[in-house]
Amino acid sequence: MSDKEHLADQQAETGAETHPLALAAALRRRLRRRERTFGAWSSLGHPEIASIFASAKGHFVGVDLEHSTTSLSTAQAMIRACHEHRRACLIRVSPGSVEQMRRLLDAGADGLIVPQVSKRDDIDCAVKIMRYPPEGQRSFGVAAAHQYGRVFEAYVKSANESLTLIVQVETMAGVERIDSIVSHPAVDGAMIGPYDLSGSLGIPGALTHPRVVEASKLVIKACTASSRSCGVHLVHPTLEEVRQHLAAGFTFLVLGSDVFNLWKRSVEVDAMIDLGEGSDNA
Q: Which residues are catalytic?
A: 67
- CA-based max dimension of the chain: 75
Q: Show Cβ contacts of residue 115 under 8 Å, excluding neighbours closer than 6 positions.
A: 66, 92, 93, 94, 95, 168, 170, 193, 196
Cβ atoms within 10 Å of 254's Cβ, excluding its own: 23
- In this structure, the strands spanning 229-234 and 60-64 are unpaired
DSSP 8-state secondary structure symbol assigned to residue 131: S
- The answer for 34, left when phi > 0, alpha when psi is -120 to 50, beta otherwise, is left
Q: Show Cβ contacts of residue 221 under 8 Å, excluding neighbours closer than 6 positions.
A: 249
Asked whether 259 and 43 are in contact (CB, 8 A), the reply is yes
CA separation for the pair 127, 42 (Å, rounded): 25
